[in-house]
């Protein structure tokens, strides 16, 4: 059985660490897929529970020198506590290291200014000051380097340990074994080793603080959860913890209170603010029978509702889970960085050795050879490379969740950036999906009232929006509607029912043609209705056409604007529907769509999407119904309207919680802005190393400057990703 598990990992320092753990996990028998995220410090694993256990994964990770535990066991609060503890420890280590390094730096500065304070330049004093920085504060680098070398996978810590050790021990050699030239001070580099460690700790501290901010979206979502619920038990109201609410409980919600869990209103009505989940600012009117979502805010009325989803099954819990999984995923563009990181450190070690040999053998300058090799080792850390993509994805997906755009993974965020074609389902997507009867036309002996009654009975068991419109209109006109004696739904065509022992056919021309029913007498009227943008359904009794019932669906207010925005963004827009060509064309004209795919049966929607893909288009399918699920799964990106069915949402890659089409251009804008940040980050990370390493090898870069630049490169990448937090995807 294939299962999913999240493992919390501590001790990773760079992209090479993440790559090493990922490689080790994927080698385990039974592991289907393992993805390690440096930013979240988590491994997302898909595995066969019959072949491998989570304990085996934890052992494999710990064998590489890292700590690991099941994420559920760690818990969110514990994770927060651990992160704050690590930030505090880094801050303390940095402060102590900075205090100890200060005299060494002062000695170097004064030397450059030709100011001689003998006690500061004393080799014994410098050794005493530098040693605790090197081996006590810097112990973490030696420990991690040891584990990395043991695992035959050198990482950033190896570079730091080797670089600072070279500077430290070279200084000892010069201090005690090489006599100073007359009138000259001994060449000591204790300050280089100490300052490099100090600056790297500062970088790690700032990076840890910044990384904590990238997960603020999750914190916000979790903060939405109410703590208590007012439940009616044994005939009286009582407040209980929300985690004790059970399915079927009746809950009372008063004005200004949060809805504790998901459910259905059974008494009362109100306006509910759903903005924290959908991004939609206007309150939504709710009445008996309507669904309410946990964590939304009741504005005015008091109502009672029956709990239908609690705990992990609530919409909010599912959203939190989806965002967490998305933030732990990888975008395809990250594969480039991962491949580079995997070979980067060994290559840098080689460059450092070559640099030393060239300077020593060719120039005969041992001191310069050591300093240049140290600079190469220090400047070349691949941290920024490893943080470039995941930090941007974390902030981007979190920003999406805040605005009602739920993106299931980094690959979908990247794919949305490439979209050049969007296919829109008509009913419930472009339109409100609540058609109403507009015309009842008799063509035979049966009067219009009787036609409506027969249609309402025949469609009573139908789940199609058109059938529902017939039934609801009949219920308003006649009150109670009896059940049909027989019922058969024919997808994409209509229904066949038995009412009072008569066969009732309601549907399209296709249905009538298939059942050999003559429709010539109705053609003119049908054409007229379709040209008006109405959907005309034929009614036949015992295989004779008796009338036409026309329905019209109202356009969503946002549809036309959203379609215009998509066109401006260079995206082709298609409308797909089972409606006939005339009706479809009339609706398309109203919203400005020129590409219309009409008379498409539900099972054929996926085929139409596939055709567009074969034309070289990167296609998004947008739908809301069960019949859209295959097309959503076939498209490069499936977008489900959040107000639609659970099946459609499950089959989609991006869920638009608002229920309006403005979220589509917003999702594309968010994707484009996030990808821009990723490319900026990768460019900076690559360029930084491409420029920095040659400068260091040529002896043009001081080890201290190299250490500072390396430390702050990671911070700059994370900071650039965090700038996404101010982005509003709904603004052009």
For CA atoms 594, 598, 603, 608, the dihedral sign is negative
Over residues 431-446, the mean pLDDT reads 86
Predicted pLDDT of residue 382: 64
pLDDT-based confidence at residue 451 (cuts at 50, 70, 90) = very high
pLDDT-based confidence at residue 281 (cuts at 50, 70, 90) = low
- Beta-carbon contacts of 694 under 8 Å, excluding residues fewer than 6 positions away, are none
Nearest to 195 by CA among 273, 256, 109: 109
> What angle is formed at CA 62 by the lines to CA 141 and CA 341, rounded to 5 degrees?
55
Helix axes 156-177, 334-357, angle to 10 degrees: 20
The answer on pLDDT for 647 being more than 60 is no
pLDDT digits (tens, 9 = 90+) for 685-698: 788 778 888 988 88
Asked if 722 and 210 count as a contact pair (C-beta separation under 8 A), the reply is: yes
Between 233-247, 450-464, 529-543, 650-664, the lowest mean confidence (pLDDT) is in: 650-664
Between 303-317, 384-398, 556-570, the lowest mean confidence (pLDDT) is in: 384-398
The answer on pLDDT for 388 being more than 50 is yes
d(C-alpha 650, C-alpha 642), whole Å: 10
The answer on pLDDT for 645 being more than 50 is no
Between 189-193, 295-299, 451-455, the lowest mean confidence (pLDDT) is in: 189-193
Per-residue tokens: 20:
């090493």
For CA atoms 38, 40, 41, 42, the dihedral sign is negative
Residues labelled as active-site residues = 425
Predicted pLDDT of residue 277: 64
The answer on pLDDT for 38 being more than 60 is yes
pLDDT-based confidence at residue 74 (cuts at 50, 70, 90) = very low
pLDDT digits (tens, 9 = 90+) for 3-31: 888 898 888 877 778 888 888 899 999 99
Predicted pLDDT of residue 47: 92
What is the DSSP track for 144-201?
Answer: HHHHHHHTT---HHHHHHHHHHHHHHHHHHHHHHSPPPTT------HHHHHHHHHHHH
579 vs 147, 183, 251, 627, 661, CA distance in Å? Answer: 65, 96, 42, 14, 20
Residue 457: how many other CB atoms lie within 10 Å: 24
SS3 per residue for 448-488: HHHHHHHHHHHCCCCCCHHHHHHHHHHHHHHCCCCCCCEEE
Q: Determine the longest span between alpha carbons in the chain, in angstroms.
A: 124
The answer on pLDDT for 231 being more than 80 is yes
Of residues 112 and 438, more confidence is placed in 438
Per-residue tokens: 182:
């007359």
- Mean residue pLDDT across the chain: 84
Predicted pLDDT of residue 225: 77
Asked if 423 and 619 count as a contact pair (C-beta separation under 8 A), the reply is: yes
Predicted pLDDT of residue 234: 84
pLDDT-based confidence at residue 634 (cuts at 50, 70, 90) = confident
> What angle is formed at CA 157 by the lines to CA 151 and CA 158, rounded to 5 degrees?
65
Percent of the chain's residues with pLDDT above 70: 89
Predicted pLDDT of residue 17: 81
H/E stretch holding 421 reads: strand 421-425
Nearest to 661 by CA among 333, 428, 387, 329: 428
Over residues 487-505, the mean pLDDT reads 89
């Amino acid at each position: 059985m294939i299962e999913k598990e999240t493992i919390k990992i501590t001790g990773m320092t760079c992209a090479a660490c993440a790559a090493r753990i990922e490689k080790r996990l994927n080698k385990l028998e039974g592991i289907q897929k393992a993805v390690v995220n440096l930013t979240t410090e988590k491994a997302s694993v898909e595995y066969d529970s019959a072949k491998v256990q989570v304990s085996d994964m934890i052992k494999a990770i710990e064998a590489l020198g890292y700590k690991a535990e099941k994420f559920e066991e760690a818990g969110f609060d514990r994770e927060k506590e651990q992160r704050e503890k690590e930030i505090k420890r880094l801050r303390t280590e940095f402060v102590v290291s900075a205090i100890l390094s200060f005299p060494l730096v002062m000695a170097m500065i004064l030397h450059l200014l030709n100011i001689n304070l003998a006690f500061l330049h004393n080799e014994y004093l410098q050794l005493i000051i530098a040693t605790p920085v090197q081996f006590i504060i810097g112990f973490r680098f030696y420990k991690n380097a040891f584990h990395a070398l043991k695992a035959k996978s050198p990482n950033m810590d190896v570079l730091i340990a080797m670089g600072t050790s070279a500077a430290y021990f070279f200084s000892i050699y010069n201090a005690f074994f090489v006599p100073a030239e007359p009138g000259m001070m001994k060449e000591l580099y204790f300050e280089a080793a100490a300052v490099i460690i100090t600056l790297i700790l500062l970088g790690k501290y700032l990076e840890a603080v910044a990384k904590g901010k990238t997960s603020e979206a999750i914190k916000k979502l979790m903060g939405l959860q109410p703590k208590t619920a007012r439940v009616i038990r044994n005939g009286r109201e009582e407040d209980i913890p929300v985690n004790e609410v059970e399915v079927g409980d009746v809950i009372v919600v008063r004005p200004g209170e949060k809805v504790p869990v998901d459910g259905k209103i059974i008494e009362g009505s109100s306006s509910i603010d759903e903005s924290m989940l959908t991004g939609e600012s206007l309150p939504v009117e709710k009445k008996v029978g309507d669904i309410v979502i946990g964590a939304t805010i009741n504005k005015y009325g008091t109502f009672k509702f029956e709990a239908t989803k609690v705990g992990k099954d609530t919409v909010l819990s599912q959203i939190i889970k989806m965002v967490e999984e998305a933030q732990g995923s990888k975008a395809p563009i990250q594969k480039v960085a991962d491949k580079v990181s995997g070979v980067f450190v060994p290559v840098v070690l080689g460059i450092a050795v070559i640099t030393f040999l060239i300077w020593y053998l060719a120039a005969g300058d041992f001191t310069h050879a050591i300093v240049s090799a140290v600079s190469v080792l220090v400047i070349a850390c691949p941290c920024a490379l490893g943080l470039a993509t995941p930090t941007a994805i974390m902030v981007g997906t979190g920003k999406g969740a805040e605005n009602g755009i739920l993106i299931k993974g980094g690959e979908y965020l990247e794919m949305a950036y490439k979209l050049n074609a969007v296919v829109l389902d008509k009913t419930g997507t472009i339109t409100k999906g609540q058609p109403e009867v507009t015309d009842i036309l008799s063509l035979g002996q049966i009067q219009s009232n009787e036609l409506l009654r027969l249609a309402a009975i025949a469609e009573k068991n139908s789940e199609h929006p058109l059938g529902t419109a017939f039934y609801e209109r009949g219920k308003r006109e006649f009150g109670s509607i009896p059940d049909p004696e027989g019922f058969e739904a024919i997808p994409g065509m209509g229904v066949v029912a038995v009412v009072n022992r008569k066969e009732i056919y309601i549907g399209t021309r296709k249905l009538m043609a298939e059942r050999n029913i003559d429709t010539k007498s109705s053609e003119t009227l049908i054409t007229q209705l379709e040209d008006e943008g109405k959907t005309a359904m034929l009614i036949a009794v015992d295989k004779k056409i008796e009338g036409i019932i026309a329905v019209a669906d109202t356009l969503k207010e946002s549809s036309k604007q959203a379609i215009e925005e998509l066109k401006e963004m260079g995206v082709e827009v298609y409308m797909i529907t089972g409606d006939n060509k005339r009706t479809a064309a009339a609706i398309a004209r109203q919203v400005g769509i020129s590409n219309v795919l009409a008379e498409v049966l539900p099972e054929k929607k996926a085929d139409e999407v596939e055709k567009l893909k074969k034309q070289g288009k990167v296609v998004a399918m947008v739908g809301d119904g069960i019949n859209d699920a295959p097309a959503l799964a076939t498209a490069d990106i499936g977008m489900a309207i959040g107000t639609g069915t659970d099946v459609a949402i499950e089959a989609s890659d991006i869920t638009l919680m608002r229920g309006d089409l403005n979220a589509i251009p917003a999702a594309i804008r968010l994707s484009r802005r996030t990808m821009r940040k990723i490319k900026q980050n990768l460019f900076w990370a690559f360029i930084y190393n491409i420029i920095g390493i040659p400068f260091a090898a040529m002896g043009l870069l001081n080890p201290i400057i190299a250490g500072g630049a390396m430390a702050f490169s990671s911070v700059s990448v994370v900071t650039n990703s965090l700038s996404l937090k101010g982005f509003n995807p709904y603004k052009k």
